[in-house]
Structure 1
Amino acid sequence: MHKSKKPIGFWSAVSMGVGAMVGAGIFALLGEASAISGSAVYISFFFGGIIALFSGYSLGKLGARYPSSGGIIEYLSQSYGVGLFTGTMGVMLYFSAIVALSLIAKAFGNYAVTFLPPDQGSGILHHVFSVSIIILFVLINLKGAKDVAVWERIIVGVKFVVLAGLSIAGIVFIDPELLSAKYYPAAGDIFYSLAITFFAFEGFRVITNTAEDMPDPSVTLPKAMMTAILLVMVLYVAIAFAVFGNLPVEKVIEAKDFALAEAALPIFGEVGFTIVAITALIATASSINANLYAVTNVTYQLAKEGELPAQFGKPIAHSREGLIISGLLIILLSLLFDLSEIASIGSISMLFIHMITHFGHLKIITETNGSKILVFCAAMLSLIAMVLALFYVSRASGHVVYVLVGFVLTALITEVLLQKIAKREIKPRIV
């Protein structure tokens, strides 16, 4: 097992988890979630956090028993053996992570061009900013895990100060009428938004990919996982109160990715808007930083298992060549495609992968000393959220189920082709 010369400690791991969650979560998804659940979005964030806590418990127990940079990939291998099924799940996880990173890069570009004069905010500059931030953090990740962790501690500190300040001020100036239950949508709509709000927490899985760089993963990893989720859960609920206590739902939906900056206007004016917008840039950059590190470790594990070409696992500087390949794929996707619909498919796919991982955990639970009840709850909550999300998305866009099936088939075909190219027989892992 690879060990870093500069290991990641408890707070560094927490910072990476928080960085991955907050950057891709509250800034990018608040408007989408509010379009479904309105001013009751805080309820959805609360239950999304509950699902994340159960998943975090299960993954934390798995990580403590099987510390590996591959994270979920390693846990699937331990539960189901190394083969076509595990490989397909691994490719799905990789595809989903690449799509998410492309969207975050595009969001960074969107925020960046708002600081330019209107006549200069063209599409080409948006792409320049999106590509540049990916290149920057590929270079940072090439310097090693310690540098990733240092960046995360600084960035997460800045994010939390600004967002906590906005939350406190927003709650102080809150208009209770705006949060009245009479404005809530039907209860079903609140739960339909769970896929989006869970996806706002989903970044906590990157902590599992730091295990090989932890001096004592059996203790540090589960604690870091639960701490990061709890911190973000409190932050999300507080922000939801602050935003919807100061802005009507229509304004939040209209603002979309800039909802937090818009919420700062009635409290702090243009200065507040600018500060929050700058924080959004920092947050999306932080999320790219943490997720690039995790994706590199996932591809390294897949390469070790023969489920991706060996090139992904070859060392380069203080990282792996999978970092370079993934960076190029992210840039390509951000330049060529509109990924908004694919992102919803990605979030449902992530819930599916979590569910499969938790059910697999039940097969080896005597090895992890986990609670059968808590792990079963993690699996069932992921399943319920996935079904609710599928129902809502298919109702809103009839062809999305076919897109999801195509996504799974693409992962399966990719894995079959990779195994043929590798010309090797994958034997079951002996535990």
Structure 2
Amino acid sequence: MPQSSNQSNSKIKLLDAISIGIGGMVGGGIFAVIGLAVSLAKGATPIAFLLAGMLALLTSYSYVQLSLAFPDRGGTVKFINQGFGISAFSGGMNNLLWLSYIIMLSLYASAFGSYAPNLYSISGNEGIDFHIYSSSVIVLATLINYYSIKTVGKIESFAVIIKLLILIGFVGIGLYGLIGNENLSQLSPDNWEKSNSDLGRRNGDFCCV
């Protein structure tokens, strides 16, 4: 029996799913938070990304095993319900999950609102342009998702190609810049972000916590 158009539009292919995953990691994990990571970790930023990558690898392995055990469209919600049952606790955890998705979307919108005015200013006011771009990308993404999830996969597949080309370009420039680059000293442990206790000891302030 042939599938209806609504059913065909509600499914994505493997390549589309991979593209959505890569796009989310590259967009949110690299483009959106790289500046914040550098400002917080300073010279230890590569170490911070290495640790984050290890955690992401462990998390992805867990998701794969859970998905094989409980192949359901509910995803994380299904996993929590299977582990803790349908209760007030699992309901609260699932609500926190949805809240984390909202925060993640706000991160993407905020990053886009910060980057876009540097390419083209609409009103001439940085604050107004930020709200225009961040709001417009949310509305646009909502319309695309409402229209067809299959379209989302195709758009993400195209966007991932552009993202990977940009990253490969940065990697090439970075490797070329390693030759005789005097700024490599910024990655030394002396330039890593120090904890409050280390700063206190350096300043001669000793206290007990």
Q: Normalising by structure 1, what TM-score?
A: 0.41
Deviation at 1:179, TM superposition (A): 2.7
Q: CA, structure 1 residues 57+4, in 2 after alignment: closer, same or farther (shift >3 Å)?
A: farther
The separation in 2 between residues aligned to 1:68 and 1:60, in whole angstroms, is 12
Shift in CA distance, 82/171, structure 1 to aligned 2, threshold 3 Å: same
Distance, in Å, in 2 between the alignment partners of 1:182 and 1:138 is 41
Among 90, 94, 108, the residue aligned to 2:112: 108
Residues 235-285 of structure 1 show CA distances to partners (whole Å, capped at 9, x for unaligned) of xxxxxxxxxxxxxxxxxxxxxxxxxxxxxxxxxxxxxxxxxxxxxxxxxxx
Tell me the equivalent position of 1:135. Answer: 139
C-alpha separation between the residues in 2 aligned to 1:117 and 1:147? 29
Counterpart position of 2:50: 46
TM-aligned CA deviation for residue 126 of structure 1: 1.9
Check 1:98–1:118 CA distance in 2 against 1; reply closer, same or farther (3 A cut): closer
Corresponding residue for 2:39? 35
Identical-pair percentage: 34
In structure 2, distance between residues paired with 1:70 and 1:38: 39
Deviation at 1:83, TM superposition (A): 0.9
The answer to whether the 8 A contact 2:42-2:191 is kept is no
TM (norm. structure 2) is 0.80
Instruction: Go from structure 1 to structure 2 and tell me whether the alpha carbon gap of 1:43 and 1:122 turns closer, same or farther (over 3 Å shift).
Output: closer
Alpha-carbon distance in structure 1 between the residues aligned to 2:70 and 2:121: 52
Question: Do structure 1's residue 170 and structure 2's residue 170 form an aligned pair?
Answer: no
Q: Distance in 2 between matches of 1:8 and 1:117?
A: 36
Q: Which amino acid aligns with 2:177?
A: F
Residues 75-96 of structure 1 deviation map (CA, whole Å, 9 limit, x = unaligned): 0101110111111111111112
Q: Does 1:57 align with 2:61?
A: yes
For 2:188, give the aligned amino acid. Y
Q: How does 1:254-273 map to 2 (within 5 A)?
A: none
Q: Deviations over 1:110-132 (max 9, x none)?
A: 21111245970332232121111
Shift in Å, 1:46: 1.3
| Higher RCO structure, 1 or 2 (CA under 8 Å, sep 6+) | 2
Query: Structure 1, residues 287-328: CA drift from partner, whole Å, max 9, x if none?
Result: xxxxxxxxxxxxxxxxxxxxxxxxxxxxxxxxxxxxxxxxxx
Does residue 154 in structure 1 map to residue 180 in structure 2? Answer: no
User: What letter matches 2:90 in structure 1?
Assistant: T
- Give how far 1:106 is off: 2.0
- 2:27 pairs with 23, 27, 36, which one? 23
**CA deviation digits over 1:131-185, x for unaligned, max 9?**
1111111111112221111011000001101111121122112244433487325
Per-residue CA shift, 1:360-395, capped at 9, x if unaligned? xxxxxxxxxxxxxxxxxxxxxxxxxxxxxxx99xxx
Query: What are the ranges of 5 or more consecutive residues in structure 1 without an aligned counterpart?
Result: 193-390, 393-431
> Which whole-Å CA distance do the structure 2 matches of 1:109 and 1:43 have between them?
28
Corresponding residue for 1:183?
A: 188
Q: Gapped runs of 5+ residues in structure 2?
A: 1-5, 198-209
- Count how many residue pairs are aligned between Structure 1 and Structure 2: 190
C-alpha displacement of 1:104 = 1.7
Please state whether the residue corresponding to 1:158 is helix, strand or coil: helix
User: Given the superposition, is the C-alpha separation of residues 169 and 70 from structure 1 closer, same or farther in structure 2, using an over 3 Å criterion?
Assistant: same
| Distance change >3 Å, CA 5–CA 109, structure 1 → 2 | same
Distance 1:68 1:78 in 2: 11
